[in-house]
Structure 1
Amino acid sequence: MFAGIDEVDWASMEHAYGPADDVPDLLRGLASADPSEREAALDGMYGAVHHQGDVYACTLACIPFLFELVVDPAVPDRGGIVELLTSIGGIDIDEDDIGEAEDEAEAEGAANYAMAAAAVSAGAGVFFALMADDDPGVRVSAPLALATLHGSPARVLALLRERLTAEPDDEVRLALIEAAGRLALRHGPLTGRIADWLSRLAAEANPPGLRLAALAQLARCAPGALPGDVVRVVAGLLRQLRSAAGTPEVSAAGSRALGAAADPAPAEAAPVALVGQLRALSAEDRAGRTAPWTADLLRTLHVGLDDRVADRTALLADQLCSPDPGQRIDAVRMTGGLIRAWRGSYGELVRLVGEQLVSKEPRLAEAASHVLEELFGLAAPAGDALAARVAADPGAWVKEWASGPPGLGSAVKALARLGDARAVPALAAALERPEVPHDAGYAIGHLGPAAAPLAGVLRRRLSEVRLDEEAYDRASPLLAGLTALRAGEAAPEVLRILRGAPEYRGEWLRTAALRALGAFGPAAHCAVPDLRALVRRPGTAGAVEAAEALWAVDGDAAAVLPVLIEGLQAEHARERRAAASALGRLGPHAAVTAPRLRALLLHEELWLRVDAAIALWEVSGRAAESVPVLLAAWEKNRHVRVRVAECLARTGAAGAGSDAARVLRAELASVRRHHAMDGGYGSHDTYEDEKLLALCRRALLGNTGKGPTT
């Protein structure tokens, strides 16, 4: 084995972390008799040689040796190596991708992907024999490898069907069905045949897990072939799986193949390698479950159901009523994913998530509070449940972390973001801690007048902040809370921060203090001399923020206009944006800046164009030039939509039959959240989208009031 490995000039190649001269040791480690060495070697392959899916020259050089490993029955854990080869060769790249590369490095990367796909596909025939390997871990991995890599999909499909009748391991059988779905997605001409086969599997008297797997793959590759009563069918299959609690469908061998463990590893045996840590987390999550793979099947089903929100909601509601805590944990997590990506009527679903807060299973209650934390106003049906959990567990009001400042507990944060006054006692207690949670001030901002009693403690704690290198971390949550409350009585304490901000993070701290003073408005009149001194130094850091605060406090347009006009000429687009937004707040008092703002409508930076268009509208009172810019930005970048909708709602330009009204109505008609994306999300995504919907409705109603838009 490994003939010629030392003849490869590994040192001349590189991987993600430098020279690739350690690759031979990683390859040999994959064949080690020591499980920890194999684990560390696989971790190194994914972490450096195939880092985040990248393919380097050293990755290509590894391919022949990886094939040697997978065909040697003496090598343990070959299933992981099969998966590694599948990942290396499974990215589709063609000549167009190489030709369209923007630079030499990108072209080289695309060429490496293409060569990897060709090299692994050329050797993919070995996976046919592995379909009947003695190691169930290999048999779990081989079907997807063939479906992804082999150039004869019809032959692969025939073998998948043949192996399904002969395969004794239930989890391997699920892998065979998943591979069929992969084939259908990659090879369109086979989709009809595969869909017919999957439909028969889903309808016949097969084990419930296999039928569920067939339905999940149908949802992926041929959703139109799903039965009309798919929710009822799936709910029935889940009940069958629960009733089989004493007879697990997955063999011990199959569970081991996918990394499950019958017993948790002792603390001293905790894995060091990332691969091992992921395996341990998977084992912990699967522990005690009758059919731990059910969650993956249901996630696949939900992805396939896509915009069928009513069906997905009904299915999750059924799961949330399951007597199986594991199924409810899965349902809670999937509920969060559904609401983040799709608009719908979720009141009953949210109420059911709230019911999980009283579960004795800590993972279930924690999952529920995390989901509710990201729902903001949509969490209202769970408000009483959240309040009860907060009242019952003061120890969870604040979350301590191994490093960094503490944060609010999920239930407290969810209740505050809901705007529920029952969060105030927990926030008051958090503000008295030696170190105030970093997110306390932002939570206060959602409570409105109900949080007014907290102004006193915020003011006192701010007066106690030492003006040293830690001042920003200690003061920023307090300033955020005072800003939200518009607590003008705290102006003296804020001025102390403004005047004494240390050099370290001083600009950030001064900006936060200036925003607070601006929010206080005329109540911060004692700050006018300091603000005037700052605006007399245009071009300095914070001058625009100081000008904006001075306008809010004193209304002196003559004093702030020169600073803001100079800000429009700043080097960085971020500073220009701040100046444009501030000019917009001056309204007609800044009419003289209209030509300068008009010139920015053609700037290459989209966000600057948007801010300039809004400001031009507000200083001139005319929409004709601004609306086309705003609507073009709306179509080009979904992240500007809330900003644009705020302007349309405030200025009333969405008259019946207008282009703006058409755009707003199209947004309201969409079931997909405006910034939903596959593979990632932000904690405020749902909040921002619900805000957008409210603004669209308000704009269409012609409400041009100057009130808050949240």
Structure 2
Amino acid sequence: MRSPAELDDVRWSRLGNALGPAEDVPKLIRVLYGDDAEAADEALYDLFDYLHHQGAISRASGPAVPFLAHAALHAPGRRDKVLVLLAVLAGHDPSALAPPRRPRIGSAAAFAELRAELRAVLPELLPCLEDPDRGVRRAALRTVAAVADLVRDELRSLVVERVETLYADDPVPAVRADALVVLDRFGRAPESLDSPLPQVRLAAAQLAAERSGPPYAAELVAVFTEDGAEPDFGEDDHPWSGTATQEQRITALLAGDPDAGLGVAARWIAAGDIGSRGSWLAGRVAEKWRDREHEVLELSLAALPHTSKPASLLRTIAYWVECLPEPDAALRDGLHRYATTADDETAEPALHALVNARDPRALDLVLSRPTGRLIAAAARRFPEAGDRLVPLIRRELAAGATAGDGTALIQALAPLGAAAHAALPELADCLRTGRAAVAAARRLGVDGENTPEITGLLLDATRSGRALSRTVAAVAHFRVTGDPETALLTYQEVLSSGGGQPYSHLIGLEPMGAAAAPLLPLVEFLLERGGPATREGAAEAHLWITGSPDRAVPVLTALAGTTGVGLNALKALAAAGCSPKDLHPALRSYASSPTRLMPDSPRSGQVHPDDELRTVSRLLLAMG
């Protein structure tokens, strides 16, 4: 344990992470000792961000531990928060780091150093287990648990004795439950499923479920069902591992057993959906498992009267309802009630869900209170209503719709057929003023006419400062005029520059087909030397230009899989009519898996990529 007087003995400037050198760490630690509570809280927030940035520790995390331990004992009024920071750092999960291609901030050596530092100061932190503040006792238990496997034999018996005392005698049930988890880390947990305390029973069931894995025994599910519905189940805001609380861990466990998870979610929702935990659990099941959307939507609808944030839950319903082939009448009627009787904040997502449920009543409601988002959704779901929707799209674009709204409105023209041609003046104005310019240029390539105004606007856009705007406008210019010269020159410049994201340009070449043949040397270069996304885009471009699968199919086959690039590769193979035999074992697993193989956010507004994966896998298998 080291006092603030020793902070300058550490060469913090040589320690750092993605945020830069660690020179601010000693300044922030010193703030913890001051009387300004607000400043100290901000310092703790910044320390958490620096030492555990985006889920990864830094090289400064280990050297900071002795100073944080001293602050836990001597800084006024923040003992529980500092202990939580120590517990989170030592409970760091390296596998939770984001994108695999991103360099890891916290190396294995840095993590080992951090845990060794915490083990060294643990004896001095043990009095915190007897602190009069329940929050401090709970945070101290988390800290002990984080290094339980490192505690030396001479200290182990003392630690276990103190934790056993908390388990047996602490007046706070949640502290007893925490103590049970710590005893389990030491291999000393008593059988507690029959405890008179629901918090202890829940902890015992959680530990047993973690050991057994799904499907869970009926007695464990019964504990989760009944005790998890209690109000104080959600009181735990102290993390056990990384930044996960007990409630989050139990939710993740139950999501691993869909039948048990949905049964428990139904009970929690019927009990009032306290903390939205039942609807949250149901959503996690839908995210993890295929073909459970109908059950999840029924539960979500039942949870709506209990939630304090119905708009959020309705947005989730709007996403999952798209996955149902035929949403039933009860679900649609429930959404219609919210869309017609709720306040504006709730009515709009309810109406969006009703549109996605393909309910005929939704179209008239959208026409009576249109927004850009609702109009775009209605165009996708009711393409036969182009004569009614295009005037609304034109009005919104003329009113100045920009960025995401403008792009969504322009993209909504695609399914509306001949009626979309009426929007040419608004598309031209969007391109002229730079509002949703990429979408506008792309759409002008489809609906545009070979007039001086349109060709001039597209030609001007090929000189834009944005590479994507240039290539999209260049291809649109080709589609309108039939002259490939501008597009070829633009693509030569952009693809030869070596910057940006070549994939987004390469996939735009499809309309040019064989007219893009002069670009083949560049495409073939990227086919062999680009990153995965670039090679996938180059393979598609090669197919469009040459009409031959010889070069592209081996590349697409090698890239195929359960990533975004892999899914695009599979779709390209299907479009080319090629179903390589080497892929068939993987395709069978993609098509038959009961779990989702590709994740997605339930608020993305797009078709779930896992549904696309299953569909394209079945299509490729059917090709033989």
The interval holding the TM-score normalised by the smaller chain is 0.7 to 0.9
Per the alignment, residue 571 of structure 2 pairs with: 646
Structure 2 partner of 1:309: 258
Is it true that 1:492 corresponds to 2:425 in the alignment? yes
Letter in 1 for 2:614: L
SS of the aligned residue for 1:690 comes to: helix
SS at match of 2:249: helix
Q: Which residue of 2 aligns with 1:133?
A: 131
1:84 matches 2:85: yes
Q: Report the counterpart of residue 384 of structure 1 in structure 2.
A: 333
Q: Which residue of 2 aligns with 1:481?
A: 412
Cα distance, 1:218–1:547 mapped onto 2, change above 3 Å = same
Written as runs of structure 1 = structure 2, the 5 A alignment for 1:284-363 is 297-305=246-254, 307-320=256-269, 322-326=270-274, 329-357=276-304, 359=305, 361-363=306-308
Aligned to 2:171: 168
TM-aligned CA distance change 1:334 to 1:683, over 3 Å:
farther
| CA apart distance, 1:649 | 3.0
- Structure 1 segments unaligned to the other structure (5+ residues): 94-100, 184-189, 243-247, 260-294, 399-408, 704-710
Cα displacement (A) at 1:226: 4.5
| 1:177 to 1:649, Cα distance in 2 relative to 1, 3 A | farther
> 1:588 & 1:576 partners in 2: Cα distance?
19
Q: Measure how far apart 1:537 and its partner are.
A: 9.2
Amino acid aligned to 2:584: A
Residue 566 of structure 1 corresponds to which residue in structure 2? 492
Which residue number corresponds to residue 462 of structure 1?
A: 397
Partner of 1:219: 209
TM-score using structure 2 length: 0.80
The alpha carbon displacement at 1:67 in A equals: 3.0
> Quick check: 1:317–1:349 contact (8 Å CA) kept in 2?
no
- The answer for the alignment partner of 1:671 in structure 2 is 594
Residues 249 and 644 (structure 1 numbering): CA distance in 2 closer, same or farther, change over 3 Å?
closer
What letter corresponds to residue 336 of structure 2 in structure 1?
A
Query: 1:355-504 counterparts in 2 under 5 A?
Result: 355-357=302-304, 359=305, 361-363=306-308, 365-378=310-323, 380-381=327-328, 382-393=331-342, 395-396=344-345, 409-431=348-370, 437=372, 439-440=373-374, 442-449=376-383, 451-452=385-386, 453-465=388-400, 475-483=406-414, 485-486=416-417, 487-498=420-431, 500-501=432-433
Give SS of 2:131's match. coil
Taking the TM superposition and a 5 Å limit, the aligned residue runs for 1:97-246 are 113-150=111-148, 151-152=150-151, 155=157, 156=159, 160-180=163-183, 183=185, 193=187, 197=189, 200-202=191-193, 204-223=194-213, 226-228=216-218, 230-238=220-228, 241=230
Amino acid at match of 2:44: L
Note if 1:694 corresponds to 2:615: yes
Q: Is the 8 A contact 1:46 1:52 kept in 2?
A: no
Aligned match of 1:546? 473
User: Which of 601, 608, 612 is equivalent to 2:538?
Assistant: 612
TM superposition shift of 1:222: 3.7
For the aligned residue pairs, the C-alpha RMSD in angstroms reads 4.3
Given that 1:421 and 1:450 are in contact with CA atoms closer than 8 Å, whether structure 2 keeps it comes out as: no
**Equivalent of 1:626 in 552, 572, 578:** 552
SS in 2 for 1:375: helix
Deviation of residue 602 (structure 1)?
0.6
Aligned partner of residue 673 in structure 1, secondary structure: coil
Residues 514-569 of structure 1: per-residue CA shift (max 9 Å, x gap): 1222343xxx3255763378459977654432343245556x36557634763673
- 2:454 is matched with 530
Are the aligned partners of 1:49 and 1:59 in contact in 2 as well (CA < 8 Å)? yes
1:28 aligns with 2:33: yes
For 2:40 and 2:113, the matched residues in 1 are separated by 27
The CA deviation at 1:369 is 1.0
Aligned equivalents of 1:511, 1:225: Cα separation in 2: 49
**Contact 1:313/1:349 (8 A) holds in 2:** yes
Alpha carbons of structure 1 residues 119 and 558: separation in structure 2 relative to 1, 3 Å: closer
Contact 1:525 1:553 in 2 (8 A): yes
Return the offset for 1:69: 4.3
Residues 278-332 of structure 1 show CA distances to partners (whole Å, capped at 9, x for unaligned) of: xxxxxxxxxxxxxxxxx95453234235643233233223333x232416x2111
Contact 1:568 1:575 in 2 (8 A): no
Q: 1:517 aligns with which of 444, 449, 464?
A: 444
The answer to whether the Cα contact below 8 Å between 2:332 and 2:354 also exists between their aligned partners in 1 is: yes
CA spacing shift, 1:230–1:654, aligned 2, 3 Å = farther
Flag the 1:213–1:563 CA change in 2: closer, same or farther, 3 A.
same
User: Could you tell me the TM-score, scaled by structure 1's length?
Assistant: 0.71
Counterpart AA for 2:565: V
> Which amino acid letter does the alignment assign opposite residue 137 of structure 1?
G
Post-superposition shift, 1:351? 1.6
Amino acid corresponding to residue 475 of structure 2 in structure 1: E
Q: Give the counterpart letter for 2:118 in structure 1.
A: V
Q: Contact (CA 8 Å) 2:51, 2:89: kept in 1 or not?
A: no
Alpha-carbon contact 2:445-2:476 (below 8 Å) kept:
yes
Displacement of 1:484 after TM fit? 5.1
Structure 1 residues 603 and 419: alpha-carbon distance in aligned structure 2, compared to 1, 3 A threshold: farther
Report if aligned partners of 1:373, 1:417 keep a CA contact under 8 Å in 2.
yes
Please give the secondary structure, in 2, of the residue aligned with 1:28.
coil
1:258 and 1:238 map into 2 onto residues whose CA distance is: 15
Q: Distance in 1 between matches of 2:569 and 2:237?
A: 48
Aligned length: 595
User: Is the CA contact 1:421–1:447 (under 8 Å) kept in the aligned structure 2?
Assistant: no
Task: Give, as a single letter, the amino acid of the residue that structure 2 aligns with 1:356.
Answer: A
In 1, are the aligned partners of 2:310 and 2:346 still within 8 Å (CA)? no
More off after superposition, 686-695 vs 156-165: 156-165
Residues in 2 aligned to 1:347 and 1:530: alpha-carbon distance in whole angstroms: 47
Q: After superposition, what is the alpha-carbon deviation per residue over 1:26-74, rounded to whole angstroms, capped at 9, x for unaligned? A: 1313xx4x765654453454355665567678766654444344446x9
> CA separation in 2, counterparts of 1:689 and 1:24?
46
Which amino acid is the alignment partner of residue 525 of structure 1? E
Cα distance change of structure 1 residues 617 and 53 upon mapping to structure 2, 3 Å threshold? closer
Distance in 1, matches of 2:56 and 2:256, equals 32
Q: CA, structure 1 residues 451+120, in 2 after alignment: closer, same or farther (shift >3 Å)?
A: farther
Change (3 A) 1:525 1:50: closer
- C-alpha displacement of 1:115: 3.6
2:97 aligns with none
Measured against aligned partners, the alpha-carbon deviations of 1:608-662 in whole angstroms (never above 9, x if no partner) come to 2111212323343333432221122224x7112332232233233227xx12333
Q: Is the 8 A contact 1:86 1:148 kept in 2?
A: yes
Residues of 2 paired with 1:581 and 1:140: CA distance?
A: 54
2:98 match: none
Aligned-partner SS, 1:446: helix
Pairing partner for 1:67 from 58, 66, 69 = 69
Instruction: Give the distance between the partners of 2:614 and 2:297, measured in 1 at CA.
Output: 19
Distance apart, 1:471 and its partner CA: 6.0
By how many angstroms is 1:684 displaced?
Answer: 4.9
- 1:707 matched residue in structure 2: none
